[in-house]
Structure 1
Amino acid sequence: MAATTDRTRQRRDDVVTTVELDEYGPAVTVPLPDELGRALAASRIVEAAPDPYRPGGWRLRAGGKVGAVALRAPGHPPVTLRIAPKVPVSRLFFLIGYAADPRIHRDGEVSVAEQDELLPALAQGFERSLERALRQGVLQGYRHTEETASVVRGRIREAEQVKRHHGRAFPVEVAYDDYGTDIAENRLLRAATERLLTLPRVPDDVRRRLRHHRGRLLDAQPLTRGIRDLPQWRASRLNLRYQPALQLAETILRGSSVEHSAGPDGRLSIDGYLIDTHKIFEDFVCVALREALAEHGGHSALQARGVHLDEAGAVRMRPDLVWYADQGSPRAVADAKYKAEKPEGFPDADLYQMLAYCTALGLSDGHLVYARGYEPSATHRVRHAGIRIHQHALALERSPEQLLTAISTIARLMAEGADTTRPTQDTVRHRPRKA
């Protein structure tokens, strides 16, 4: 039976107020109102189930989501649930930043070494990038607008005018380009700033500076709460100073924002911010491999399209990374796997998946990259197939330089193995888009 740990703080009424869990750590039993326990189980933020040996207790176990959430129910004190990553926050932040833009790491744009919690580190890193972005003033640019207006501005959208107004002169459907600060870049920065200001655990000094930055961005239109499709921006010389902040803004806005009501009457609420460490690791490995493989020629496709298991093309496959020669034939394939540490070692299912990738792509070598450093790298030769599957282990507690060196070693092995690969004609037919 799991017991309440010293990291769980309680009030005198024996109702827990703060629960601190470790990513993929052991289950912890805490006293929770049944309403909150059931809401937490339904949210799938953590594994939650009543403890059969302790009345009123709930067994909680964190998976691959890290961050903090607050649970509230009428008549009960609020409960704060914090999930700490199993790697140092500074290392996790490096993975996030590098996956968003490798230049953030190379240029030393962001440092959060003094923070030991995820959300404060993310807020501090974003604020520093935002301050650098706005140091030379708020960026201006042209924004294309299509709207219904009472006066003619720009050009008239004739097809929409006929379709919507059936020959009437007014109102008029117009399209024009407006120059100012209400552009996609500033909308993203304002939305990320406002999202951070609503979250707990943001340091007071960071919150104060974020409010100041928000005041400079008020001319940018706010985003609709819960919007899925973020404004699109394109990297250019003009927005170069904005780019580190924009990459972090997208990370913040695409994070797993937990905000909903539960229960039959909607009286229970769960609010917070979580990040999926599986996605962070997979994005980092793919981007880092793409950067390292660029030195060996060809091009890499992330979440490669146009790969099918069967000859009819009915069974689609999406390898994390496929490295192609310049003429379009596949040379190597890799998949990133963020797994919990288990004594039985690497899961067999991953081997079967990689075997299917190699068979469909006509490759003799496949590479699996795991987020762990406790098992040695292994190579398996598949019987009667002539296919080798390589399993690589990354120790995330290593320094950023050591991690990138390890990735470069994997890329070199992929390039060496590609020299012996002979793709079939079926695998040369498609020419996927570059990532």
Structure 2
Amino acid sequence: MRTVTLTEHSTSDPFPLGGTARERLFDLVAGRLEVQATADPGQVRLRSTSWVGAVHVPGLTVRVTPRAGMANLFTMFSAGIPGGTLGREEVGWEGGVDLVDGVAAFLLRAIDDCTRRGLLHGYLHREESLHVIRGRLLVGQVAVRPWAAARPPCGYDDFTVDVPENRMLRCALEQLLRWPALPPVLRRGATALAVRFDGVSPTVPDDHRGGVPITRLNEHYAAALDLAGQALEGVTISHREGEHRAHAFLIDLQDVFQRWVAAELQARLWPMLHVSERPAYSLDDDARLPVRPDLVVMRGARPALVLQARHRLVGASSALSQEVSALLLQAASLPVPTALLVYADAEHPPEPQMRIRGTGTRLLCLPLTLDATPDALSARLDEIAELVRVSALGPLPQRNRTQASAVVPTI
């Protein structure tokens, strides 16, 4: 068994990979891990992207780790989980815990917290043939098949645990249990939790790609559903007759970083401002050019600032202009006077402040370095939140301007 270890956005040395393993690898990681050909047809290179985690195919294990370290990845991944849900000592941050193990620990604790007092129930409409009439008799079906009137078809609303929220959590648990290298303590925890979902229909990850809308009825499930959605997005398991299983469990750092920035800013800006994730707008008056900005800071019902969170900026200034062109177009169409680009890493860091010719939009580019202590990260987020507040609500009193001006040269 060969093991290849990469960091995000890096390339491996050439190594031999058989045709079967190469085909399985292509199937599992398309768009998440690049398999590059070399001059030797029997060897390949692997190029990692923003997806980190682990991939197992017959004869090969690939591990992709974040540049900033696992501790800060788990800090980002836990965005939105109630305080105290999971401590460092329980996940083992200090000991360099495996990414999949850490994600599994977060997910199990979140599911346990939201289902400890019982599963969410809801009404599902069912239509089936019964021995007694329940709900509404489906007269149209009786007319078509009168010989089946001994078991009349009925439509009724059933109060049940077999609702989309529970199906999604059960699916996430089952995918974790299929991971071959899951530690025994986590496997026992997942098995014990799976018992709670008796009566919930089994599903597959593709059934939950759209997620579950959060309402007042299921808001206590929100953290667990968010973590389950992120985990299911990166899970791929394939099986062919007569072959070993191949597994992939990958997490998109770009998605995690954006969610984390949104959650941290929301906690710091509420109730004066609200951070909306991917709201629907249109660039034209007739709504024929839809657009969904990454993040929009709202002042009541009015957009005040558009924000883009990027885990890594790749390339020089020409690449940056392509990166921010959509952001500036969104800012001009909303319209808002300020567009904010928050990034964790950049090959060529952009200028902290630019004025866009023609529209007058102010573009602020702020680094949020992840290779720092939790206290330093929190302090930097405080500064960015203060700048957002000033841009959206107006200048601060004289005594508070020093902290805000520390983020960019001029407010």
Q: TM-score band, normalised by the shorter chain?
A: 0.7 to 0.9
Provide TM-score, normalisation by structure 1: 0.76
For 1:276 and 1:418, locate their aligned partners in 2 and report how far apart those are by CA, in whole Å. 30
Q: Measure the CA separation in 2 of the matches of 1:332 and 1:142.
A: 38
Measured against aligned partners, the alpha-carbon deviations of 1:1-49 in whole angstroms (never above 9, x if no partner) come to xxxxxxxxxxxxxxx6222221112332111114433553463442222
Aligned counterpart, 1:281: 257
SS in structure 2 opposite 1:144? Answer: strand
Evaluate the alpha carbon distance shift between residue 239 and residue 285 of structure 1 in structure 2; reply closer, same or farther with a 3 A threshold: closer
Mark the CA change 1:357 to 1:246 in structure 2 (over 3 Å): closer, same or farther: closer
Cα drift, residue 50 of structure 1: 2.4
- Distance (whole Å) between structure 2 residues aligned to residue 392 and residue 164 of structure 1: 67
3-state SS, counterpart of residue 287 of structure 2: coil
Comparing 379-388 and 127-136, the one that deviates more: 127-136
Separation of aligned partners in 2, 1:364 and 1:224: 44
Partner of 1:339: 312
2:229 to 231, 241, 250: 250
Distance 1:355 1:272, change over 3 A: closer
Structure 1 residues 44 and 367, CA gap change in structure 2 (3 angstroms): closer
Q: Secondary structure at the match of 1:380?
A: strand
What letter matches 2:361 in structure 1?
A: I
Cα shift at 1:399:
3.7
**Could you tell me which residue of structure 1 aligns to residue 400 of structure 2?**
none
Identity %: 24
Indicate conservation of the 8 Å contact 2:280/2:292, yes or no: yes
> Any unmatched runs of 5+ in structure 1?
1-15, 73-77, 422-435
Is 1:162 aligned with 2:140? yes
Does the CA contact (< 8 Å) of 2:134 and 2:154 recur in 1? no
**In structure 2, what is the Cα distance between the partners aligned to 1:384 and 1:391?**
19
Equivalent residues in 2 for 1:133-172 (5 A)? 133=114, 138-139=118-119, 141-152=121-132, 154-156=134-136, 158=138, 161-162=139-140, 166=144, 168=146, 169=149, 170-172=151-153
Alignment RMSD, CA only? 3.4
Q: Is the 8 A contact 2:171 2:204 kept in 1?
A: no
User: Counterpart in 1 of 2:157?
Assistant: 176
* Corresponding residue for residue 34 of structure 2: 47
What does residue 323 of structure 1 align with? Answer: 297
8 Å CA contact 2:209–2:229 kept in 1: the answer is no
Q: Equivalent residue for 1:389?
A: 363
Distance 1:385 1:128, change over 3 A: closer
Match of 2:49 in 1: 63
Q: How does 1:20-419 map to 2 (within 5 A)?
A: 20-41=5-26, 43-52=30-39, 54=40, 56-72=42-58, 78-98=59-79, 101=80, 103-104=81-82, 106-111=83-88, 112=91, 113=93, 114-133=95-114, 138-139=118-119, 141-152=121-132, 154-156=134-136, 158=138, 161-162=139-140, 166=144, 168=146, 169=149, 170-178=151-159, 181-224=161-204, 226-228=206-208, 232=212, 240=220, 244-253=223-232, 255-260=233-238, 270-295=246-271, 297-308=272-283, 310-326=284-300, 328-340=301-313, 342=315, 347-372=320-345, 375=349, 378-419=352-393
Q: Find the counterpart in structure 2 of residue 75 from structure 1.
A: none
Cα offsets for 1:131-153 (capped at 9, x unmatched): 445555x4363443412131346
Contact 1:71 1:271 in 2 (8 A): yes
Is the contact made by 1:20 and 1:83 (CA closer than 8 Å) also made in structure 2? yes
| 1:334 alignment partner, SS class | strand
TM-score of the two chains, using structure 2 as the length reference: 0.80
- 3-state SS, counterpart of residue 372 of structure 1: strand
What is the number of residues matched between the two proteins?
385
Name the counterpart of 2:409: none
Does structure 1 retain, via aligned residues, the 8 Å contact 2:142–2:153? no
